[in-house]
Amino acid sequence: MNISGDSEFLSDYDPTAYDCPSVTVDLVLLGLHRQRLSALLVRRDQPPQAGHWALPGGFVAIDESLDVAAARLLRDKVGFDGAHLEQLYSFGAVDRDPRMRVITIAYLALLREDQMNAAVRAGRVAVAALEGERLAAIGEDQAALPLAFDHQAILALARDRLRGKIDYSDLAFAFLPPRFTLRALQDVHEAVLGTPLNKPAFRRRMLDRGRLVATGMREDEASHRPAELFTLGSAR
């Protein structure tokens, strides 16, 4: 088998003549649930790994791009689109699925809290809080759970990527409604990083970036002084 053929000789290649790996997309659906960074998982009811929790995913069709496949799966799994979606990493260990060779392109999807709740009501997913270093726990105070296949590693990478980008990117706003308070924004950062942040310094830093636009409106439903609502302005 000519596995070292250059791509410039691709015209000599007959795809039906070789084994080719299956290609899937897996989704890491992250959001805040009760102030904690959480993932949406599906429960496997078929072997292998029946009973284990797993990332939702599916095959990439021959006529759809990776991004389109991810968007389609997002719609199928949570019942709507509109969540922030970006490619995370590709996993291709030979034995990552015991049945066959599967290469998966993992996508990171960030949901608002209302979207998290809607997804749980509408779909086949459950909420799992991310605890400590690399474990997820389903439901209230259950013990940490092992995930199917290499999904634990995928989830850990997603969390690390999110932590690394939260401070300089716009990812935090994907967790929030269009109008939000500075306190809510800080809650997002703290949940993602897993550490408390200094409040005046956080406010200053965010406001000095010039991206937050004050609306003049204030939150309601607060049993204390209501905070101002901001929106995210355009870059530059």
Q: Which of 35, 47, 122, 222 binds a second copy (CB under 8 A)?
A: 47
Q: Which position among 34, 81, 82, 90 is part of the footprint of a second copy (CB under 8 A)?
A: 90
Q: Which two tokens stand for residue 9?
A: 């000789």
> Does 9 interact with a second copy (rule: CB under 8 A)?
yes
* Paired sense of beta strands 102-111 and 22-33, if any: parallel
CB 113 within 8 A of CB 184: no
Kindly state the smallest distance separating residue 224's Cβ from DNA, in Å: 3
* Site for DNA, residues 160 to 199, rule: CB under 7 A: 181-183, 198-199
CB 135 within 8 A of CB 147: no
Contact letters (x/-) for a second copy, 96-135, by CB under 8 A? Answer: -x-xxxxx-x------------------------------
Site string for a second copy, 57-86 (x = CB under 8 A): xxxxxxxxxxx-x--xx--x----------
Rg (CA), the chain: 21
Angle at 117 between CA 25 and CA 69, to 5 degrees: 15
The span from the first CA to the last CA of the chain, in angstroms, equals 52
Select the residue interacting with DNA from 46, 201, 216, 236 (CB under 7 A): 201
Residue 148 C-beta: closest distance to a second copy, Å:
8
CB 103 within 8 A of CB 91: yes
Among 56, 125, 171, 229, binds a second copy (CB under 8 A): 56
Distance between CA 38 and CA 126 in Å, rounded? 10
Cβ nearer to a second copy, comparing 74 with 130: 74
Task: Count CB-CB contacts under 10 A for residue 93.
Answer: 12
Nearest to 131 by CA among 194, 198, 218, 41: 194
- Note whether 128 and 145 are within 8 A (CB): yes
**Which of 68, 214 has the CB closer to a second copy?**
68
Phi, psi of 34 (to 5 degrees): 55, 50
- Choice between 201 and 235, CB closer to DNA: 201
- Report if residue 207 touches a second copy, rule: CB under 8 A: no
Residues that bind a second copy (CB under 8 A): 1-11, 13, 15, 18-24, 26, 42, 44-48, 54, 56-67, 69, 72-73, 76, 87, 89-94, 97, 99-103, 105
Residues that bind DNA (CB under 7 A): 181-183, 198-201, 203-205, 208, 218, 222-228
